[in-house]
Amino acid sequence: MSVEIVSPMPGTIIEVLVKTGDKVNADDELIILESMKMENPICASSDGTVTEVKVEEQDKVQVNQVLAIID
């Protein structure tokens, strides 16, 4: 079952910590999102394998935008 990791707030992607094919555990940091001059880690909500990363560093994102997919 695929799990979409979405942005909880608008902001700018400042670091992508995973790539397609990486195995992750629940609560592992996947992406660092800068919003309101604060760095916010976006973490995996479940164990699995990253099947797609939909953002790159410096991308601007909106609330509920899909950032990555874990299967």
Would you list the domain boundaries of the chain? 3-70
| This prediction's pTM | 0.94
5-20 pLDDT per residue, tens: 999 999 999 999 999 9
Buried (b) or exposed (e) across 45-55, using 16+ Cβ within 10 A?
eeebebeebeb
* pLDDT bracket for residue 54 (50, 70, 90): very high
Which of the four CATH numbers 3.65.10.10, 1.10.3720.10, 1.10.357.10, 2.40.50.100 does domain 3-70 have? 2.40.50.100
- What is residue 69's predicted lDDT score, i.e. its pLDDT? 98
